[in-house]
Structure 1
Amino acid sequence: MKKRGFEIVSKYANENLSLPQRQTKQAAGYDFEAAVDFVVPSIWKQGLFKALHVLKHVGKLEEAEKKAGDQALKPVLVPTGIKAYMQPDEVLVLVNRSSGPLKRRLILPNGVGIIDADYYDNPANEGEIFVQLINYGLFDYHVKKGERIAQGIFMPYLTADDESMPKNDRAGGFGSTQK
C-alpha cells in the first residue's frame, strides 16, 4: 500500500514533468517545479504604486484606483502538473524555497499553502497543485518550465478531542471550502 507521494495529473501526462524531489539526504522539503513557462507580474507595475501615491498626496482613492491597487496584490496561480496522495491524517504544507524571496523576489502570499488529503483526485481539477505567488520585485519575473518554485513537506496533524466530525466531502478544487 502506498502511503504518500506524487503523481502527474493526466493533463500533463506527456509533458515530461518531474515529480517533486528532495535535493539532499536531510532535506525535509520536496521541490515543486512550474509545469509551464509563466509570468509573475511585479506588483509595482499594476496600479499599486499609483494607489500609494494618490493616498499620500490626495488622501482618498477613487473606486477604480482602489480596484487597480487591490488587483496588483492578487497572487497568481502557477500550475505544477502534480497531485499528492497521503494518509487521511496528513497534510502537505507548501512553503517558500529560500531562493524564492532572496534571488527572485517571489513569495507565497500567506507564507504557506495547505494541501489536504482529500484534495487528491478531486473532480474539479484532479487535485493539481498550484503555487500562489506574488512578485514584490520591480520587474516581471519569467518562471521557466521546470524551475523550482516552492517546496512541500508532508506532516501529520492533530484534531481536537471534542470535535464533531465534519459531514462535508470536498466538492471542488482550489479554495473550494471558502464561504
Structure 2
Amino acid sequence: MTRGFEIVSSYTDKDLRVPYRSTQQAAGYDFESAVDFTVPSIWKLNFLKVLWAIWHQETVSAAETDKAKAILKPFLIPTGIKAYMGADEVLILANRSSNPLKRGLVIPNGIGVIDADYYNNDSNEGEIFMQVLNFGLTDVLIKKGDRIGQGIFLNYLTADNEAQPRQQRKGGFGSSGR
C-alpha cells in the first residue's frame, strides 16, 4: 500500500466514508465531517466593537481582546480519517470552492499540511481535522457526511544542503513545533 485513507479507531462503528474523488479528473479527495458541528460566525460577541476600537487606536479591555481572539481561533471539524503515504509525500488539505461562497467558511492559513509521520505516531493516531473560520453573518451547521474540504497527495523536494532533522514526531495536531 503506497498511499490512502483509513478510519481512526474511535470512529470504526460510526458509518464514515473514507475520502473519495467525485469525478474522474478530480485531483482532490473529498473529506466529510464525522459529526454534526456548528461553526460560529466571527461577527458575534462584540467583534466589530473591538475592531473599531483597534482601528481608532482606542483602549480595548483585556476581556474584549480575549473575546476577539476566541472568535478568531479556528474550529477543528473532526473527519475521523487518517492518511498514510510515502516518506517523500504530503497530503495538502484545501477548502472546497463552495465553502466560502455558500457557507462563509475559510481555512485560516490557506491550506493544511499533513506530513507522512502524522500517521500512527507515538501519542496520536493521526486523525485529520479540517481547520475553519466562519466569516459568514450567521452560524453554520455542518451535518455529519457534509463535504468540508479536500485533500491532494503531492511529492515534495528537499534541499541538497539540508541539515537532517533529528526530531521525530511524538504528538498530534501542531506537535512539530511552535
In structure 1, the partner of 2:84 is 85
Gaps of 5+ in 2: none
1:76-115 counterparts in 2 under 5 A?
76-115=75-114
In structure 2, the partner of 1:41 is 40
C-alpha contact (below 8 Å) 1:83/1:126 kept by paired residues? yes
How many Å separate the matches in 2 of 1:58 and 1:4? 51
Q: 2:12 matched to 1:13?
A: yes
1:30-179 counterparts in 2 under 5 A?
30-56=29-55, 59-179=58-178
Gaps of 5+ in 1: none
C-alpha contact (below 8 Å) 1:46/1:71 kept by paired residues? no
How many Å separate the matches in 2 of 1:62 and 1:149? 35
What amino acid is the match of 1:173?
Answer: G
| Normalised TM-score (structure 2) | 0.96
SS at match of 1:134: strand
How many Å separate the matches in 1 of 2:13 and 2:45? 35
Identity %: 59
How many Å separate the matches in 2 of 1:121 and 1:16? 21
What amino acid is the match of 1:86?
Answer: M
How many Å separate the matches in 1 of 2:39 and 2:102? 14
How many Å separate the matches in 2 of 1:11 and 1:109? 27
Give 1:60 deviation, angstroms: 2.1
C-alpha contact (below 8 Å) 1:29/1:151 kept by paired residues? yes
Once the two structures are overlaid, the 10-residue window that deviates more, 124-133 or 48-57, is 48-57
Give 1:57 deviation, angstroms: 5.8
1:110-147 per-residue CA deviation (whole Å, 9 max, x = no partner) reads 00000000000123330000010000001010100000
Q: Following TM superposition, where does structure 1 have runs of at least 4 consecutive aligned residues deviating by more than 4 angstroms? A: none
How many Å separate the matches in 1 of 2:124 and 2:73? 21
What amino acid is the match of 2:150?
Answer: Q
How many Å separate the matches in 1 of 2:155 and 2:16? 27
SS at match of 2:43: helix
What amino acid is the match of 2:68?
Answer: G
C-alpha contact (below 8 Å) 1:47/1:72 kept by paired residues? no
C-alpha contact (below 8 Å) 1:6/1:84 kept by paired residues? yes
| Normalised TM-score (structure 1) | 0.96
Once the two structures are overlaid, the 10-residue window that deviates more, 51-60 or 74-83, is 51-60
SS at match of 1:118: helix
Pairwise CA RMSD: 1.2
1:56-107 per-residue CA deviation (whole Å, 9 max, x = no partner) reads 5672211111111111111001000000000000000000100011111101
SS at match of 2:162: coil
